[in-house]
Amino acid sequence: MFSIIQAAGWPIWPLIASSILALAIVIERFSALVESKVAPKGLADTVIAVTQKGLPSKDSLADLEQNSMLGEVLASALHLLKTKPKASQEELRAAVQTAGRGMAHRLEAHMTILATVASSAPLMGLLGTVVGMIEIFGAQSAGAAGASNPVQLAQGISMALYNTAFGLMVAIPSLVFWRYFRARIDSYLLTLESSTERLLRHIQTTDADQP
């Protein structure tokens, strides 16, 4: 492996750093985007069922906030009702939207960096290719007055090919994981939207039923 890095020359080092960064982000995102941490199944149903008997206690709301990201968003509406029982639907929606934006920001953490690695890795590989081609032409120029330098020629070819290949090896998995995480985040955001809408409709119905 070290011999390959030597043959690829200095342009491969930014690619190695990018691959380590991308791997760290992928591991972190897999850990963060777990369903139980973001939007557990049945949580909205449980919250709606509990609120049919009245607003939960402060301890229950604290437990809901610590349950998951979706729990934090649902709890934001209930907290507002706890402190302001006559809160309007507009105020409830504003509280939920504020909490939802915070959830979306956390879900999308580091995604821009991963996308940047996916798009820039081929360009860094291309840079190594260009440097390798310069090495090749340098070898040809050095041999213009006599025999060409085969060692320098081989080094230039190795640098060009290794950097091209490594750039693609970094870019392709980064792009695949970016698309995978993007789809997962979109699914969570859709769950957030539908769950909060159900809770708000339930609160509105409950208020309408009260004398």
- What does the pLDDT profile of the chain (211 residues) look like in tens digits? 667 666 667 888 999 999 999 999 999 999 999 999 999 999 999 999 988 888 888 888 999 999 999 999 999 999 998 888 888 889 999 999 999 999 999 999 999 999 999 999 999 989 888 888 887 776 666 555 544 566 667 777 778 888 889 999 999 999 999 999 999 999 999 999 999 999 999 888 765 555 4
Q: Give CA–CA dist 135/151, Å, rounded.
A: 10
∠ CA 19-23-26, nearest 5°, is 140
Closest CA to 204 of 107, 104, 88: 88
Q: What is the structure's pLDDT at 146?
A: 45
Closest CA to 174 of 107, 139, 124, 103: 124
Q: Give CA–CA dist 85/199, Å, rounded.
A: 15
Q: According to DSSP H, which parts of the chain are helical?
A: 2-8, 12-32, 35-38, 43-51, 58-67, 69-83, 89-107, 111-142, 150-209
Enumerate residues 6+ apart whose C-beta is below 8 A from 117. 18, 21, 22, 25, 170, 171, 174
Q: Which amino acid is at 165?
A: A
Q: Is the pTM of this model over 0.85?
A: no
